[in-house]
Amino acid sequence: MARVLLLFGGRSSEHEVSCTSAVSVSDALVGSGHRVIPVGIDREGQWFLADTAYRPFRAEGRSVAFRVPEGVLSVGGESVEFDVIFPVLHGPMGEDGTVQGLFEMCDTPYVGCGVLASALCMDKDLTKGLVSQAGFATSLWRAIQRTDWDLDSESIVSSVAADLRFPLFVKPSAQGSSVGISKVTDLDTLTYAIANAFRYDTKVVVEEGIVGREIEVGVLDGPRASLPGEIVIEDGWYTYQAKYEDDTSECVVPADLTEEETKTVRGMAESIFDLLGLTGLARIDFFYDTANERFLFNEANTMPGFTSISGFPRMWIASGLTYEELCTNLVDAAFVHHEERGRLEIR
């Protein structure tokens, strides 16, 4: 069994979600016979050896140093041995290629997608552009750069309102868990929504709202897709609060789709996984456009929520894997991808 350095917390607005996800991953890995070294990253970027008695985990405790490029972890001046890193980090500074680049510099096996794929999928605009160019349907969208917004926000608002139909969803291009997202139903609130999204990113995406259903598919190496799930929302849309803080939403697994619809969306998820160069795992999100009876790509998440009741593990449990098997498979895949990278000529 492996010695797994479990990284959680992080500097992003999804810090608390990561702390909760890490508990389930740790319990599963320990239950499968692995040794887990839980290291929390606080909001200032400091690393700590965590006390697993706290649930959720807390990014506090004894200070940890990670030496580059050796990839040596030390606590109190003493080295702590590990074999592989499982970064249960969501959002910027964790899911966006930054820590993946750190692991690559240290020649260390790690769970999940590589640097390029992680960075690409963090940017909703670039991801939608590539997927759209490959022939997959998406909702209509516009991307706005902060520099352009600062020069002439009024013209941009007028242009967006002319190109896209309300309701609109305004999003930071590189955030997750619905952080900074607003639903806009009229021109009066569009300016405020875009300005608010710029609090979290230097690029903002404005998308046409879709009347339909939210469908998710988990994908592992192969690629192989899970049975799809559906996000059922009691009222409104899938906000941060609906995801994590109240009971106004539910992930139904498997989604109530026909056999042909299930086959179609699983096939799309596998194709997009390959197209984006993803490895290890991803959750591919779609809308089902009920008016036109078709699936529209929404986004790809390279480190989705990982609590035992989150959509990604639940879809795989419904597809025949236990939670423990899922986590162990991801650790095994990390070694495989590390060996593949090690065979490449770099000079």
Q: How far are the Cα atoms of 39, 62, 225 from residue 273, in angstroms, in the given order?
A: 29, 39, 9
Q: How far are the Cα atoms of 64, 128, 204, 346 from residue 173, in angstroms, in the given order?
A: 32, 11, 5, 32
What pLDDT score does 144 carry? 97
Smallest CA-to-CA distance from 34 within 75, 72, 66, 6 is with 6
Contact 284, 295 (CB under 8 A): no
Hey, is 73 helix, strand or coil? strand
Please give the sequence-ordered ranges of beta strands (E in DSSP) within the chain, or none if there are none.
Answer: 3-9, 35-41, 47-49, 62-67, 72-75, 78-80, 84-88, 141-145, 168-172, 182-184, 203-208, 212-220, 224-225, 229-233, 249-252, 281-289, 294-301
Contact 4, 34 (CB under 8 A): yes
Contact 168, 191 (CB under 8 A): no
Q: Which residues pair with 283 in a beta bridge?
A: 218, 301
Longest dimension (CA), the chain: 62
168 sits in the region (left: phi over 0; alpha: psi -120 to 50; else beta) called beta
Q: Parallel, antiparallel, or unpaired: how do β-strands 3-9 and 35-41 relate?
A: parallel
Supply the CATH classification number for the domain 211-302: 3.30.470.20
What pLDDT score does 188 carry? 86
pTM: 0.92
Please name the residue that has the structure tokens 């080295």.
79
Start and end residues for every CATH 3.30.470.20 domain found in the chain = 211-302
Q: Identify the CATH homologous superfamily for domain 140-208.
A: ATP-grasp fold, A domain (3.30.1490.20)
3-111: CATH topology is Rossmann fold (3.40.50)
Start and end residues for every CATH 3.30.1490.20 domain found in the chain = 140-208
Start and end residues for every CATH 3.40.50.20 domain found in the chain = 3-111
90 residue type, one letter: H
Q: What is the pLDDT along the chain (347 residues), one digit of tens a residue?
A: 899 999 999 998 889 999 999 999 999 999 999 999 999 999 999 999 999 999 999 999 999 999 999 999 999 889 999 999 999 999 888 999 999 999 999 999 999 999 999 999 999 999 999 999 999 999 999 999 999 999 999 999 999 999 999 999 999 998 765 678 999 999 989 999 999 999 999 999 999 999 999 999 999 999 999 999 999 987 554 444 444 444 557 899 999 999 999 999 999 999 999 999 999 999 999 999 999 999 999 999 999 999 888 999 999 999 999 999 999 999 999 999 999 998 987 75
Q: How many residues does the chain have?
A: 347
Smallest CA-to-CA distance from 316 within 254, 244, 223 is with 254
